[in-house]
């Protein structure tokens, strides 16, 4: 996420919402007044659906109390390979 706005002002906080596709395990970071440019970096998701699924974050940056334009970040979570045990007679 950007640390400065297009006008050069330093971004101090973010409001973040997220839409998580059904079938994903894990929790998206959301909230108001969140700080740090890597605030969603550590989010972890699992996917055993057999296809790709998405997490779509909507982020509003703030410089002090002035809100910037909202933007979205889409993270595609690829499916995990699952295996079954091999049984021998």
Q: Where does the pLDDT of residue 86 fall: very low under 50, low under 70, confident under 90, or very high at 90 and above? A: confident
Structure-derived torsion over alpha carbons of residues 14, 43, 58, 33, reported in degrees to the nearest 10:
-20
CB within 8 Å of 12: residues ≥ 6 apart: 35, 62, 63, 64
Q: What tokens appear for 38 in the block?
A: 């890597």
- Tens digit of each residue's pLDDT (9 = 90 or more) over 22-76: 999 999 999 999 998 789 999 999 999 999 999 999 999 999 999 999 999 999 9
Is 5 inside a domain boundary? no
Q: Give the structural domain span for 31.
A: 13-77
Q: What tokens appear for 42 in the block?
A: 């550590």
How many domains does one find in the chain?
1
The pTM assigned to this predicted structure is 0.82
Secondary structure element (H or E) that encloses residue 77, with its range:
strand 71-77
* Number of neighbouring beta carbons within 10 Å of residue 17: 15
Q: Is the predicted pLDDT of residue 1 greater than 70, yes or no?
A: no
């Amino acid at each position: 996420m950007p640390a400065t706005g297009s006008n050069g002002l330093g971004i101090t906080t973010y409001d973040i919402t997220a839409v998580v596709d059904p079938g994903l395990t894990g929790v998206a970071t959301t909230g108001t007044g969140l700080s740090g440019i890597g605030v969603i970096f550590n989010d972890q998701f699992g996917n055993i659906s057999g296809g790709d699924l998405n997490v779509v974050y909507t982020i509003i940056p703030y410089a002090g109390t002035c809100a910037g334009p909202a933007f979205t970040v889409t993270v595609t979570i690829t499916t995990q390979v699952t295996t079954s045990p091999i049984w021998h007679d």
